[in-house]
Every structure is written in structure tokens, then in C-alpha cells.
Amino acid sequence: MNFEYVISGMTMGTGDLYYKQSVLAPYADVFNDKIKHIDNKYSNQNVSMLFNSHCEPKHGETIHALMSSWHNLMADSGGLQLSRTKKGLTPEIKDSIYRHQAKYSSVAMIFDDIPTEFDGSNTGWSMKTSTAGRRFAKELIDEKSKSTLANVIRQIEVFDEVESDSKVSLIVQGQDVESCRQYIETIVDGLTDEQLKSCDSISLSSACSGTGFNNRMEMIYGCKNYEIPDDLKKNIHLLGVGSHEMMTAFFVSPEYFNFVENVSYDSSTQANSWFFSRYRDKNWNNIDLESPSRATRSLEDIYQRQLIPSLGELFELNKYAFHSFGIPNFRHLIEESTKWSTKNVEKARLYNSDEGKHGAKLLPFFNQMQVVEHFMDRLQSLVDTPMTNDKGLSQIKDWDMFINGWLPYQGAIDKLPTQFAGSLNEFF
């Protein structure tokens, strides 16, 4: 079984690095070298990237042009963000997204209609992950799967019109194996054999169930029951998974998942390490980097306790790249390219001299990629020694053993409710 880390959220906190080809071009070679190093390091792992065709179109175009070393360049549809705009998801907007995906990605996510309803009490970005003010509407499975099917058919039509080689990943929505089966089988059964050739994988979503460990395991083990072509089931994508624990099933139950060839998973958890000033070292210890503007420690204390163990390690592991841009050592990097410079007496958000501009562009990428590499190192150790923490899952050989012999003994499962809480119930 192969594992594919799909990095999302990589443009956070990077300024114009990926927005303009002229900005990225000087660094593209060393960036590609790092990607190739990670991709070649493992016999059973690859590294890819996910961008958002709605929110990050220019980024996608720039990365497609200059960073060809990704195993796959995947494009999200931006459906979540577009659904919250005044215009919403018009056919014209969808077609423009499809054309962008077709031109700049190798794998594209669909516009999936989710069988959930909102009571209006929860707004903003937290809508993406919060269960507050949201319910799973099982009665909408048929309607939403059919409208999603229409989206998929149109997406494939556009790809064919522009003669794109990009493949589609079909998103699975539902709360249990029955509702998930109905949703994905409705979509697959509505596609012709020729249209199915444009479909690359199935993507498992937790939007209707919840992101807890037991919820994820039910979602993952349940996919074996889908009556869809083996060519789809052999490529499983996990949406929004940035934890080793949430992939435990694949480490400890290889016999159960003998139909799977590739497990890909997208996560922004490691990529946003730079934006949130944190770093995971080679031993998977988290290091939070205090901002000079808010720090209670002295700068020297921060330097010794935080910067050397994090950015110092990062520099040593990638010094070939920094040396190629005239950055001789770690102290020079800190002094000329970061907000932790002793010259930064204003304690600004970011210190950046003309001399240090290369370091300021290199640091976000290598911070992100080094944390990703450490994540993949840890994943490899779990693949090699899967029984260190199997949570009892290694005994599972079939679905009956999972649903009757494991899941009932895990305690209550916090799933998305099927009814709105409190007095709102009387209105629905």
C-alpha cells in the first residue's frame, strides 16, 4: 500500500511567493529539489499538493508552471467558500472552476452537495468543521447525490471539451455505511463507462459524521462495502486528515484493505506551521516560536530554547539551499531574514532587509516541507511497526467484526445530530 501526503494551505503566510511567477522563479529549482528528495526517500510514500481553484487560482497557475516535481497537483473546487458568497454557485462559476482545474491540476475535486442543513446560528470559517447549528439530513441523500452527479457529469464534459488529462475524485458523503453507499453508488451508477474513465478515486468526507477517531474508523472500514468499480476503491483519499492516528486502520489491517493500492490524505496542519510559528522536529516534538512583540522571554532565551531546536535544525537539514543563496549559517539567517533579528528593534511582524530577502522567501517553504518530511518519517515507522498502538483494530478481518465486535465497545460516538437542538426541533 502506498501513502500520499497532499499538502494543503501551503500559501498561508507566504506573501506573494506563489502569486507571481517572477517571485517564485529564483527559488523554483531548490524547491523542486526538496520535493524530489522527499518523494524519492520512501518506496511507499509520495508528496503532492492541493490548491483551491476558487481562492488560489493564481497560486495554482504559478505552482503548475514552476513546480512540476509534485507527485500530483490537486485542485479543490472551492465549493465551501463559494456557497457563502452572495452569488453562490452558479453554472457559470462552476464552469470557470472546471476549466481552471482542467488546465492546472492532475486530480480535481468535485462540487459535492452535502446532505446537511444549518439553523443559521453558526457562521464564518468555523462552519467548515464545527457541528454547531448543523444536522445530518438523511432524507436528502437521494436529492443531494443526484445533484452531485449532475455536477460530476458537467465537470467531465468540460474536461473533455478542453482535452484535459485531469482526473476527478468523487467525494463520498454520509453518516454510516448505508447512507454513504447510497450517495456514492447513485453517483457512480449514473456515470457511463466512458465517464468513469475520468474518475481517479473516492474521497471520504467526515462532514456528515464528525471528525472523532471512531467516526473516522467507521468511515474508512465502511468503504469496503461500496458496490463500485475496483479501480475507484483502490485509490482512497481522506479529506482533512493531518493526524497519524486517523490513518491507523491502514497500518494495522492490511488484510482487510487488500483492495487498496494508494491512500492519499490532504492536510493543512503541517503546512500552516510557518503561519502559526510552530515547528515539529525530527523526534516529532512540537516547538512553539514566541513572537518578539509578545514574548516574555529574552531574545537570547528564545534563540536557545526555540530557534536553534527548530529553525536551526531546519537550516542544517537544508543548508545546501540556503548556501546557494549566500546565506552562510543559521545566525545570519535569523539576523537578516526574520522577525527575531536583533536589528528588529521595532519588533515588527516580520523583519526583512534587502540582504535577507532570499532567506525570507526560503524559510516558509523549508519550514513547511521539513515538518511534512518529519510527518512522513513518523508515518513510515508506524507502517513498519503497526502494532505499537493498534487500538484493537488489528483483529478486524471483515465488516461484521468491525461493526459488531469492535465499534459497540468504543463507547458513545459523537456524530452529527439528525435534529436541531432545543426548541428548533418543533419547526423542522
The pLDDT, as a whole number, for residue 337 is 94
Residue 238 lies in a domain: yes
Task: Please check whether residue 290 is in contact with residue 310, taking contact to mean a CB–CB distance below 8 angstroms.
Answer: no
The three cell numbers of residue 426 are 418543533
Residue 306 lies in a domain: yes
Q: Classify each residue of 80-100 as buried b or exposed e, where b means 16 or more C-beta atoms within 10 Å of its C-beta.
A: bebeeeeeebeeebbeebbbb
The pLDDT, as a whole number, for residue 37 is 97
Do residues 411 and 375 share a domain? no
Candidates 302, 316, 311, 322; CA nearest to 274 is 311
Task: Please check whether residue 202 is in contact with residue 184, taking contact to mean a CB–CB distance below 8 angstroms.
Answer: yes
Do residues 108 and 170 share a domain? yes
User: Which of 37-41, 64-68, 288-292, 424-428 has the least mean pLDDT?
Assistant: 424-428
Q: What is the pLDDT of residues 314-334, one digit of tens each?
A: 999 999 999 999 999 999 999
Task: Categorize the per-residue pLDDT at 423 as very low, low, confident or very high, splitting at 50, 70 and 90.
Answer: very low
Per the structure, the count of domains in the chain is 2
**What stretches of 123-271 adopt beta strand conformation (E)?**
134-136, 167-172, 199-204, 235-238, 262-267
The pLDDT, as a whole number, for residue 124 is 52
> If you average pLDDT over residues 110-125, what whole number do you get?
76
Residue 291 lies in a domain: yes
Q: Would you give the DSSP letter of residue 375?
A: H
**135 has which bridge partners?**
117
CA 255/CA 253 separation, integer angstroms: 5
**116 has which bridge partners?**
136
> If you average pLDDT over residues 208-232, what whole number do you get?
94
**4 has which bridge partners?**
46, 264
The three cell numbers of residue 415 are 456524530
Do residues 414 and 304 share a domain? no
CATH for 202: 3.20.20.70
pLDDT at 207 over 80: yes
Do residues 247 and 339 share a domain? no
Do residues 374 and 403 share a domain? no
Task: Categorize the per-residue pLDDT at 422 as very low, low, confident or very high, splitting at 50, 70 and 90.
Answer: low
> If you average pLDDT over residues 219-237, what whole number do you get?
97
The pLDDT, as a whole number, for residue 425 is 44
Do residues 43 and 176 share a domain? yes
pLDDT at 360 over 60: yes
Do residues 56 and 128 share a domain? yes
pLDDT at 187 over 80: yes
Residue 329 lies in a domain: yes
pLDDT at 219 over 90: yes
- Kindly give, in sequence order, each residue whose CB lies less than 8 Å from that of residue 48, ignoring residues fewer than 6 positions away: 4, 5, 6, 7, 70, 71, 72, 73, 74, 264
Do residues 203 and 327 share a domain? no
Do residues 235 and 309 share a domain? no
Residue 392 lies in a domain: no
pLDDT at 288 over 90: yes
Which residue range is the domain that position 37 belongs to? 2-273+397-420
Task: Please check whether residue 321 is in contact with residue 362, taking contact to mean a CB–CB distance below 8 angstroms.
Answer: yes
Q: Is 155 buried (19+), middle (13-18) or exposed (0-12) by CB count in 10 A? A: buried
Q: What is the pLDDT of residues 96-114, one digit of tens each?
A: 999 999 999 999 999 999 9
pLDDT at 427 over 60: no
Residue 174 lies in a domain: yes
Torsion angle of C-alpha atoms 37, 106, 192, 194, degrees rounded to 10: -90
pLDDT at 428 over 60: no
> If you average pLDDT over residues 9-23, what whole number do you get?
92
DSSP state string for 40-84: HH-SSEEEEEEEETTT-HHHHHHHHHH-TTSS-EEEE--HHHHTT
Do residues 287 and 255 share a domain? no
Do residues 124 and 179 share a domain? yes
Do residues 269 and 364 share a domain? no
The pLDDT, as a whole number, for residue 239 is 95
133 compared with 333, residue with greater pLDDT = 333
Q: What is the pLDDT of residues 255-272, one digit of tens each?
A: 999 999 999 999 999 999
pLDDT at 119 over 80: no
Task: Please check whether residue 218 is in contact with residue 176, taking contact to mean a CB–CB distance below 8 angstroms.
Answer: yes
Q: What is the pLDDT of residues 83-92, one digit of tens each?
A: 555 666 789 9
